[in-house]
Structure 1
């Protein structure tokens, strides 16, 4: 059994006990989340929302936070002596899916 859910503008496939890597959220590790934007539920039958399934909820717990590997942004224009180098590390949070209810 799994659900497709929307969280912070992105869609994720979630199963009970799964770990998901999402954009960083402002919550301490151990905090509980209640996500009610469930798009699809697949179990014995498949339920599709319009756009969300009414009453369906996914409970999750924040496990930890971190930063991804560094991405180098390099801008360059030939023959103009223009070079700009910039690095970026995207923050993320790992959440653990607990219970899927209301489906």
Structure 2
């Protein structure tokens, strides 16, 4: 059984027991978070929502928050002496999928 959920402008294919990293949710570690934007559920037969599946939720436990590896942004223009180096670390929330309610 798996489901496709939408959060943070992205879509994730999840199954029970999976550990995923999503955009920062601002929820304390150890708490339960429910996703109500379930786009599709497969439990033997595929159920596709329009745009979401009515009554379907995915429950997850928050394992913690963190920051991803640094991405270097380097801007450069030749012959002018212009170059600028910048870095970015995206914040994320790590979740463990507990139950898919179809």
Structure 1 stretches of 4+ with a deviation exceeding 6 A read none
Alignment of 1:61-76 (within 5 A): 61-76=61-76
Superposed CA RMSD in Å reads 0.8
Count of aligned pairs? 102
Alignment of 1:1-103 (within 5 A): 1-101=1-101, 103=102
Once residues 44 and 71 of structure 1 are traced to their aligned partners in structure 2, the CA distance between those partners, rounded to angstroms, is 40
**Structure-2-length-normalised TM-score:** 0.95
Q: Structure 2 unaligned segments of length 5 or more: list them.
A: none
Q: Structure 1 unaligned segments of length 5 or more: list them.
A: none
Once residues 31 and 80 of structure 2 are traced to their aligned partners in structure 1, the CA distance between those partners, rounded to angstroms, is 51
**Structure-1-length-normalised TM-score:** 0.94
